Amino acid sequence: MKKIIIIGLVLMLSGCATNRQIEKVINDIKKISVELSSKRVKKEAKNIRELGIKSGQTKKNEWQKYNNKEANFSLKFPEYVNVGKNEDSDKIQINIDVIEIGKVNIAGFNLEELQNDAKMIENGEYGKDLGWSLENSRKVREITGGNAQENLILSRDDLCDVIFERNLVFYNNNYQIILSLIGPKNQIINNHPEYFKEEKERCQKNKNWAFELQSKFYYELEQKNMTGVTQEWYNLFDDIVKTLRIGNNSTTTKETEKNE
């Protein structure tokens, strides 16, 4: 195919080509362009599948349902999302911490602070931060059954730390519930290298945050200007929060359920 195009271009440049020959060369070029475009699309689709993200929105009947009787809430999340909190994973992950107030010590909180925190969120105010969240990402949002506190964590106390974690904190039935959705770190860094810089000497790794760009990174996510798995992860958090229901009397379990 390449030889045909080269010969055709030589003929065209020399002025010896007929209209029919010129038309054939143009058609061959178009065909190769389509083939290359198709290969790029297939490669992108393969990358998405490897991340556990299916093309387009996952069908609702492929979402799992998590119910917790003690804390009296339920939510749903896609089957492809891993359960856990491995920050180096190349999969999107969900983690749900359900902590009974007064029976378990919660780092950074005493009982009075937890009660005040729950009251503030109930009244639509941002309570005590769990730590290290991006300041302009801190807000209170309405959920079915009340209010919740939301934030985004991009790094913690370690200057070399990179994480992509959206969090939702709410209280119910004398429990503190923390819902976290963690993005695939390496894939996001590779997709958006402009937000990171070389830190080989200090961090012993290739990429670390350009911290002055974290707010811009958050802004672009909020505006839905990011691409690929980065925006997919960010948007999925909102989709999961929309499924949150408080007041479910079912037993503590995780099951696959078909949504109507």
CB atoms within 10 A of CB 100: 13
Share of the chain above pLDDT 70, in %: 67
- 3-state class of 72 per DSSP? coil
In this structure, are strands 165-172 and 139-143 parallel, antiparallel, or unpaired?
Answer: unpaired
- 19 band by pLDDT with thresholds 50, 70 and 90: low
Q: What is the pLDDT of residue 154?
A: 96
CB atoms within 10 A of CB 50: 13
Residue with tokens 């393969």: 46
CB atoms within 10 A of CB 95: 16
Average predicted confidence (pLDDT) for the chain: 78
Residue with tokens 């639509």: 124
What does the alpha-carbon distance between residue 178 and residue 99 come to, in Å, rounded to a whole number? Answer: 9
113-120 LR contacts (CB < 8 Å, sep 24+) = 114/171, 114/176, 117/171, 118/171, 118/176
Nearest alpha-carbon partner for 189 in 168, 161, 225: 161
Q: For the chain, first and last CA: distance in Å?
A: 51
- Tokens at 56, concatenated: 């387009």
Burial of 105 (0-12, 13-18, 19+ CB in 10 A): exposed
Q: What is the pLDDT of residue 256?
A: 39
pLDDT at 159 over 50: yes
What residue type is 160 in one-letter code? C
Find all residues with CB under 8 Å of 141, minimum gap 6, and list them.
Answer: 147, 148, 150, 168, 241
Q: For 169-211, how does the pLDDT look when each residue is reduced to its tens digit (9 = 90+)?
A: 999 999 999 999 999 999 999 999 999 987 767 776 668 899 9
- 249 band by pLDDT with thresholds 50, 70 and 90: very low
- 61 band by pLDDT with thresholds 50, 70 and 90: low
- Tokens at 223, concatenated: 């505006």
- 3 band by pLDDT with thresholds 50, 70 and 90: very low
Burial of 40 (0-12, 13-18, 19+ CB in 10 A): exposed
